[in-house]
Amino acid sequence: MSVHPLEDRYGRKEVRKIFEEENKLQKALDVEAALSRAQAAVGNIPKKDADTISAKASAKYVKVARVKEIESEIHHDVMAVVRALSEQCGDEAGKYVHLGATSNDITDTALALQFKEYTALLLQDLDKLKKALLKQAEDHKKTVCIGRTHAQHSIPTTYGLKFAIYACEVQRHVDRINECKKRLLVGQMTGAVGTQAAFADKGMKIQELVMKDLGLGSVLVSNQVIQRDRHAEYMLDLALIAETLNKIATEIRNLQRTEIGEVSEGFREKQVGSSTMPHKRNPIYAERVCGLSRVIKANAIVSLDNIPLWHERDLTNSSPERIIFPEACILTDYILNVSIDLINDLVFDYKAIERNLNLSGGKIMAENLMIKLVEKGMGRQVAHELLRTIAMESHDKEKSFRDLLVKNKDIGKYLNVKEIDAALNPKNYIGTAVEQVERAIKELK
């Protein structure tokens, strides 16, 4: 019976597989095999024994169950892998397994291999999300809607600009992950406390060969562990991705509010919104994104606490990392894919968009009127105060903003009725929004 929701509720199978025990074991065996080949290449062990180790360093032979059995006796996870692999290699080759290495040479390098596998999928997901956002930006670059600041109606904007802003943010995440990769996807073969003493004068060459074999970068210097600032940076990058998704989902949730109703999640034919209220159409996927983003952010905080370890190493990072790395990676991938579907399936209510755009009775166009008055010769501060006074009167006394404008003699000196009506049209006041969206689409594609 499952305990953690990652086991059966959240996460894609191909991503969970990266962090499952068998793959984690296989990555450790891959490192052990690469070490044996490097040892043979520098003349430390016979090539035939390295070939044997490489052939047997497979989860087909070294079973998770056997590793766990050994660990239950000796209480050391890496040494359990070493013994299980040695058993498969026989006495001759087995005596060279793990030669010169320390536990974190294996586990930290294996972790980099897992991250390498995961990051490839992560970048694919980010690209899909960016494309989904850019499509909405293109489709809605001329869909004029009310802009909101402090949750109050401000001036018009476009839905295309909203989505273009999100797409640009996603591109920055792509850039961050690609930049982080050179610091994250590294391994080490430095031995106890990092001096490479067990490798004698061949340590630097062995490390170089192992990492080249595995397709990883190599630490420049290290102690017994790869320094955790690298991993914390990555976890913070995942948290940033999660918070962008949180931001997008929060906006969708707000726009789906009954009082606004401009945009909503797609709702399936047989979907149930509430166990007691048959009419409900709740934004459950957006809420799920927002909720799980909190877990990813919290895990990033834990990763920061893993940076300061005692002296050349301690084990305080190990236990939380067994939880936070799989959890953050699987959940980030999951909410990314939920968000892709969410963006692709959005439903726009154009009547509600138009209704809300005109809800203030034209008062949202006060800035435009101020600009028009200044263009005709009125001072900017004078125009601002004049329109503020008229807008407050319209609000407080529930009078027509347009009527007050038309009747005002000071405004009449500068603008005629036709010009006032043109200035009150929200669709005439979106500035370069369309051009900005088109430029973003061109740049990001």
Catalytic residues: 150, 274
Q: How far is CA 290 from the centre of its chain?
A: 12
Nearest Cα to Cα of residue 306 among 294, 297, 298, 318: 318
Nearest Cα to Cα of residue 359 among 152, 190, 208: 152
Which CA distances in Å does 44 have to 41, 49, 50, 79, 198? 8, 11, 10, 21, 11
Q: What is the 3-state secondary structure (H, E, C) of the chain?
A: CCCCHHHCCCCCHHHHHHHCHHHHHHHHHHHHHHHHHHHHHCCCCCHHHHHHHHHHCCCCCCCHHHHHHHHHHHCCHHHHHHHHHHHHHHHHHHCCCCCCCCHHHHHHHHHHHHHHHHHHHHHHHHHHHHHHHHHHHHHCCCCEEEEEECCEEEEEEEHHHHHHHHHHHHHHHHHHHHHHHHHHCEECCCCHHHCCHHHHHHHHHHHHHHHHHHCCEECCCCCCCCCCHHHHHHHHHHHHHHHHHHHHHHHHHHHCCCCCCCEECCCCCCCCCCCCCCCCCCCHHHHHHHHHHHHHHHHHHHHHHCCCCCCCCCCCCHHHHHHHHHHHHHHHHHHHHHHHHHHHCCEECHHHHHHHHCCCCCHHHHHHHHHHHHHCCCCHHHHHHHHHHHHHHHHHHCCCHHHHHHHCHHHHCCCCHHHHHHHCCHHHCCCCHHHHHHHHHHHHC
Cα–Cα distance, 298 to 309 (Å, whole number): 20
Q: 108 — phi, psi (to 5°)?
A: -70, -40
100: left (phi over 0), alpha (psi -120 to 50) or beta: left
